[in-house]
Amino acid sequence: MDMLGTVLLPPAARARRLRPALIALLAVALAATGVARAQGASWPTTHQQALWVTTSWEHELTDATSLWFDGSWRRMGVGEEPQQVLLRPGIIHTLAPGVRVGAGYTYVATAPYGELPAATPSREHRLWQDLRLAHTVGPVSVTHRYRWEERWIAPVDGGGTGTFLFQQRMRYMVRAQAPLGALRRHDRPVLWYLQEEALLPVGHDGAAIRLTQNRALAGVGVPLGARQRLDIGYQNLWNALSARQANEVNHVLTFNWVIVTGR
């Protein structure tokens, strides 16, 4: 059945087609949240507000290969306190329909922030590689992203940047999105989306692998044109701060300007 046929199904039938993707996404989110709570059960938890403004840009060079860039300006509260700036260029190649691989570099500048601040600002350089798998369940598009990062992190103080320490991290993200009923803008559907991502450092701090950050996100995608969209969402970000033996939960208002250019 094509997309139009699925949308015209009775509500109960549409729900049955959506159910597998939504159940899988919810199961991943609940499992990750359960592990997070178990790992940090004996630590105090602080809740705080944050704002992330992001641009995700893909420039198509050929039918199979694209340049990629995403940048994120992250603040605490409603933008009044600096948190982080992230710049992530790379390249993505399509191996087959629904199968893409990518690699690139990331620069991150982090300030002491919030109620549990780090002792100093930090600077980070990363290399990243990922595999992206996409498929559909009825009208729902589902994307899985498996990412590996090599990270070099150093503190910054009055004397300059300190010694860079090496770390590695695995990340798994799953995202589901579909048209939000009959809502349209610029003759394109408004989308709803759900997203879950777990971040797991590997091979340092005395642990082979453990969950130290979990991001659960929900929102709507509003078309700005044929190849642009503004995603507006809420992100619940749990972060285990081992140096403080405490958890932070950031309630994040997110804006992501999604752009596709080129061919």
Residues in the chain: 263
Contact 129, 102 (CB under 8 A): yes
For 69, residues 6+ apart whose C-beta sits below 8 A from its C-beta are 55, 56, 57, 87, 88, 89, 90
In a domain, 213, yes or no: yes
Q: What is the pLDDT of residues 138-190, one digit of tens each?
A: 999 999 999 999 999 999 988 789 999 999 999 999 999 999 999 999 999 99
Decide if 130 contacts 145 (C-beta within 8 A): yes
Which tokens belong to 183? 């809502």
Q: Does 263 map to a domain?
A: no
Note down the domain range covering 195.
3-257
For residue 207, pLDDT over 60 is answered with no
Residue 262 lies inside a defined structural domain of this protein: no
Which candidate, 173, 186, 166, places its Cα nearest to that of 143?
173
pLDDT tens-place string over residues 59-91: 999 999 999 999 999 999 989 899 999 999 999
pTM over 0.75: yes
Report d(CA 240, CA 203) in Å as an integer: 17
The pLDDT of residue 241: 87
Q: 139 and 14 in contact (C-beta within 8 Å)? A: yes
Measured distance CA(256)–CA(70) in Å, rounded: 9
DSSP 8-state secondary structure symbol assigned to residue 32: H
Number of domains in the chain: 1
Mean pLDDT of 194-200: 95
Show the CA angle centred on residue 46, arms to residues 40 and 50, nearest 5°. Answer: 120
User: Is 59 within 8 Å of 261 (Cβ atoms)?
Assistant: yes
- How far is the C-alpha of 253 from the C-alpha of 121, rounded, in Å? 23
Whichever domain contains 143, its CATH number is 2.40.160
**In which band, very low, low, confident or very high, does the pLDDT at 9 lie, cut at 50, 70 and 90?**
very low
Question: Is residue 215 domain-resident?
Answer: yes
* pLDDT the model gives residue 235: 97
Torsional sign, CA 198, 204, 209, 212: negative
